[in-house]
Amino acid sequence: MAAARCLLLRASPPAPNPPEIAKAFSPIIASSSSSSAAASLPLPAAVPPSSGRRIPPLRCSSSSSSQGSASPDIAVLLEVEGVLADVYRFGNRQAFNVAFQNLGLDCANWTEPIYADLVRKASGDEERMLLLFFNRIGWPTSLPTNEKESFIKGVLREKLKALEVFSASDSLPLRPGVEKFIDDALNEGVPVAILTTYGRNGEKTSRSIIEKLGQERTAKIHIIGKEEVEKSLYGQLVLGEGVASSLDEQLVREAQKAASAEKQRIAEEVASILKLSVDINAASESSEKIIVTLRAGSEYVGRDVQNCILVAGSQSGVLAAERIGMPCIVVRSSLTARAEFHSAKAVMDGFGGTDLTISKLLGKKWS
């Protein structure tokens, strides 16, 4: 994009598999003429993982399955943005400035006070932040009024490219104490999963941040991305990705037959059992995406949803966890420093010391 001048204008988120999934589909299987045979079918494991990935076998839990197990009955699911690294403080502002330079917008430069003011006024919505900023200082003189929306999207695309590069560099640090928090969890036998699917800056940025944990540490952690979600049992049942290749054919036929006959009734029944909202049409795509990720995460760590603790840095993650009954603890970032999280079990400022530790989780001392 050619260099542009700005003219001041008047502004006009190996243990037993969670039992509720298996229970949810028992009414579907029972509805067929071959219900007794179908009901006895065990739930198979998720699609065999691709090379280098580990997916634990999925088994129906029983009251005697935990006999003799010394492992804690909880697991930790971690968001990336705002939790592993404060991307909003150390990455976003710098990436915007690189984007402005690359687009020839020499009049645009976000200092920390300007960025903080825009974040506050736009509640972190980056499109609104750009609108507020250019309404304040003036739009590029060569930009037609009807192309402001496409201009904003172009800036955001360029900013994302810059952030992907920035997140892979040493300029974006991990949050203090997060490495020790993960190590303590692993040493206590607490499974750890990191969720990369719903961060606002994309999975590539999230994975670059995860790499900062080191190969030895990440080899012991479950990384839950788009591919892992699609291969999870819950992801297959909800998203319909690759069901025929991974589930028993008879179970698939019975589920499809029942779904085609009474799709809404069955959906509501399954949603009720899984403690999801029955209003399928009203649920936002983003919210459902997070819920599928959280449930997939619980499968990979081998814990029931209510025994998984989400460490969140986003409001959307907190709300999704509440919908499925997953306990949630918030670790504040520069983006959420003044936000309120009413449904969270606790709100912490960081890791270690008086903030979030594994010992507090094991003792369920949320605050």
Q: Report the alpha-carbon distance of residue 267 to residue 290 in Å, rounded.
A: 18
* pLDDT number for residue 228: 94
Structural domains counted in the chain: 2
CATH code where residue 143 lies: 1.10.150
Residues 211, 126 share a domain: no
- Residue from 244, 298, 362, 260 nearest 18 by CA: 298
**CB of 21 closer than 8 Å to CB of 255:** no
Q: What is the pLDDT of residue 270?
A: 53
> Which pLDDT belongs to residue 251?
55
What is the model's pTM? 0.69
Residue 137 is encoded by which pair of tokens?
A: 């200082």
Identify whether residues 331 and 182 lie together within a single domain: yes
The CATH number of the domain holding residue 328 is 3.40.50.1000
How many whole angstroms separate alpha carbon 317 and alpha carbon 166?
A: 24
258-291 burial code (b ≥16 CB/10 A, e <16): beeeeeeebebbbbeebebeeeeeeeeeebbbbb
Same domain, 234 and 345: yes
Q: Residue 237: its pLDDT value, please?
A: 81
Q: Both 358 and 263 in a single domain?
A: yes
* Series of mean pLDDT values for 10-residue runs along the chain (367 residues): 46 43 41 39 40 43 42 90 88 93 92 90 90 93 89 95 92 94 96 93 92 96 94 81 50 52 51 43 64 95 95 90 94 81 89 93 72
**How far is Cα 109 from Cα 179, in angstroms, rounded to an integer?**
33
CA distance linking residue 334 with residue 349, whole number of Å: 10
Same domain flag for 154 and 298: no
Residue with tokens 């029931």: 304
Q: Are residues 81 and 129 in the same domain?
A: no
Q: Report the mean per-residue pLDDT for the chain.
A: 76
- Domain check: are 211 and 338 in the same one? yes
214/306 same-domain check: yes
In a domain, 10, yes or no: no
Residue 21 inside a domain? The answer is no
Could you say which of 140, 168, 196 is where a domain stops?
168
Residue 125's domain comprises 88-168
Verify that 343 and 246 share a domain, yes or no. yes
Residue 127 lies in a domain: yes
Say whether both 329 and 232 belong to one domain: yes
Give yes or no: residues 164 and 177 share one domain: no
Within-domain flag for 64: no
Residue with tokens 């499925």: 324
Are 139 and 243 members of one domain? Answer: no
SS3 track for the chain: CCCECECCCCCCCCCCECHHHHHHCHHHHHCCCCHHHHHCCCCCCCCCCCCCCCCCCCCECCCCCCCCCCCCCCEEEECCECCCECHHHHCHHHHHHHHHHHCCECCCCCCHHHHHHHHHHHCCCHHHHHHHHHHHHCCECCCCHHHHHHHHHHHHHHHHHHHHHHHCCCCCCCCCCHHHHHHHHHHCCCCEEEECCCCCCCHHHHHHHHHCCCHHHHCCCEEECHHHHHHCHHHHHHHCCCHHHHCCHHHHHHHHHHHHHCHHHHHHHHHHHCCCCCCCCCCCHHHHHHHHHHHHHHHHHCCCHHHEEEEECCHHHHHHHHHHCCCEEEECCCCCCCCCCCCCCEEECCECCCCECHHHHHCCCCC
Backbone angles phi and psi of 226, in degrees to 5: -60, -45
**How far apart are the C-alpha atoms of 61 and 65, rounded to whole Å?**
6
Contacts of 263 (CB under 8 A, 6+ apart): none
Edge-to-edge strands, sheet with 75-78: 222-224, 192-195, 75-78, 308-312, 328-331, 346-348
The answer to whether residue 193 sits within a structural domain is: yes
Q: What are the backbone dihedrals phi and psi of residue 192, each rounded to the nearest 5 degrees, phi first?
A: -125, 135
User: What is the rounded distance in angstroms from the CA atom of residue 350 to the CA atom of residue 215?
Assistant: 23
Residue 45 lies in a domain: no
Domain end point (choices 116, 145, 168): 168
35 belongs to a structural domain? no
Last residue in a domain, options 114, 144, 168? 168
Q: Residue 208: inside a domain, yes or no?
A: yes
